[in-house]
Amino acid sequence: MDEKEKKAQARLHKGYRRLGTDHPVCVICGYRGHPDAFERAHIAPNKFHDEWAILCRNCHREQSECEKDKPYKPETQNPQMETIAHYLLGLAKFLELISQTLLKFGEWLLEQAAHAVPYTPDLTKETD
């Protein structure tokens, strides 16, 4: 392995360490690929909570768009309740985007099923 390949491998492993996995997958769209295509997305702004998920850059932009007009630190007299509210709103956005992906996949699968060869499992065979 020459010096150029070593540097490329080092960058690749650094990206995997940043994400905490050697097999990153976007939790919204299912994209799999090079670690530089992924980001750690906070479920709620990190002043409210520190939990995150792995998203591809496209899904992260879409997910975080709704956060741009929100405060990044508690502003009310009840910061604990505000923190919970921001966490739930962030989680709801994640679930909304995941739901859209599931709907698209379900529609695609139904379309594929209409053109697929009929599936008739052999129920007489025993499995180990």
**How far apart are the C-alpha atoms of 18 and 91, rounded to whole Å?**
22
The residue range of the domain holding 89 is: 9-67+76-108
Average pLDDT over residues 80-91: 87
SS3 helix, strand, coil % of the chain, rounded to 5? Answer: 50, 10, 40
Q: Residue 115: inside a domain, yes or no? A: no
b or e along 97-115 (b: 16 or more beta carbons within 10 Å of the residue's beta carbon)?
beeeeeeeeeeeeeeeeee
Average pLDDT over residues 19-44: 91
Q: Residue 85: inside a domain, yes or no? A: yes
Q: State the pLDDT confidence band at 38, using cuts at 50, 70 and 90.
A: very high
Residue 128 pLDDT? 61
**How far apart are the C-alpha atoms of 33 and 110, rounded to whole Å?**
27
Pair 43, 94: CB distance under 8 Å:
yes
Q: Residue 90: inside a domain, yes or no? A: yes
pTM as predicted: 0.67
Domains in the chain, number: 1
Average pLDDT over residues 91-118: 90
